[in-house]
Amino acid sequence: MNKKVVAIGTKDMVMGFTLAGVDEGFTPENDYEAMKKFDQLLESPDVGVLLISESTAEDIREHIKKKRMEKELYPVIVEVPDKEGAVEDKEDPLQRKIRRAVGIDITSMEES
């Protein structure tokens, strides 16, 4: 069974990913709707990747943290910068995962 890629976030972000071939997209009106849709997508067995705009993720950050503490999250959650750019002072989650897997920060290594 193929897993779906789903986007949740700002109108522009969702529209862009939908045009790029993402299976479904949702634009919540408020934080409550965002949390509700996030929970529904986490429980959906056919969702493999959840793309969430950084601004939406920031709005429901405590909820996301709570869900992560409850269990290992699946689907894979990827935070995507909005058209305004990346959230300031936010660690890149991919960089963090690489550092955890490899044991060093590969982005701070100097090229020889």
Taking the domains of the chain in order of start, what are their residue ranges? 4-85
Strand boundaries in the chain, DSSP class E: 4-8, 24-26, 47-53, 76-80
- Report the 10 Å Cβ neighbour count for 5: 20
End-to-end CA distance of the chain: 45
pLDDT at 56: 94
pLDDT at 71: 72
pLDDT at 39: 94
Q: Answer yes or no: are the C-beta atoms of 27 and 56 closer than 8 Å.
A: no
Sign of CA dihedral 80, 82, 86, 90: negative
pTM over 0.85: no
Evaluate if residue 112 carries a pLDDT over 50: no
Summarised one tens digit per residue, pLDDT across range 5-16 is: 999 999 999 999
Give the residue, 2 or 24, on which the prediction is more confident: 24
Give the residue, 36 or 1, on which the prediction is more confident: 36
pLDDT, average across residues 15-23 = 93
Region at 105 (left for phi over 0; alpha for psi -120 to 50; beta for the rest): beta
pLDDT, average across residues 88-102 = 59
Distance (Å) of CA 72 to CA 67, 68, 99:
8, 6, 19
* CATH H superfamily, domain 4-85: ATPase, V1 complex, subunit F (3.40.50.10580)
